[in-house]
Structure 1
């Protein structure tokens, strides 16, 4: 998987402010040729874990990337976005549905003349581990 802003169609979504890019870091904003990369038929993902925030590699603190759609925040480093997950599932041929497990639990404690019932609690757990050397680049 490659950085989102390296997609062949990135100029339809963001603009690189070259004068704000640190000298020697310009390659981080290169765009791949459509013959060399497969976008897995996913839309451009401003919120992808693999999208640079707006001021990455800035020489002066100013923006190096600007969304052509005003008000959009670029990138994040917390979690896979829904479109990141969609791309991974497509790449590995997984089904489109996401499965989570919920387990209701009820506990009743009885003491002489006192009964306490706790309300059911729902626990949702999602765990994903991806280890691969398979590339989605063409060729």
Structure 2
């Protein structure tokens, strides 16, 4: 039902616009990543940190849970400009525009049951190993004096 205001604006020939992301103008605060964040997990349904497969992937990437930050695709837009971090997109059709290595896979419940998807994720990890483990090739990084 059109309000009196809507009718008046229409009579004056004024086009009304609807915001696609009104939260941006309602004082929503930008997402601030902790300094030790090394992996962004981007998913519509954020996975629990204690999920066994997630723990296995973190172990393969030599990461601790405190080095991981999970957010939804809408929250990605709130990241500071120029944020560069490895990201893992779970179950997203269109990956967000993020700088850095991007891994992608089906959502965690699907990934847990699909051996082919696990292999594809592992292949992505292997393909980007030099970026995910930048010190892995240096002897001093492997052996402490």
Tell me which interval the TM-score lies in, with the shorter structure as reference length.
under 0.3
Higher relative contact order (CA 8 A, sep 6+): 1
Q: What TM-score does the superposition give when structure 2 sets the normalisation length?
A: 0.24
Structure whose alpha-carbon radius of gyration is higher = 1
The structure where helix makes up a greater share of residues is 2
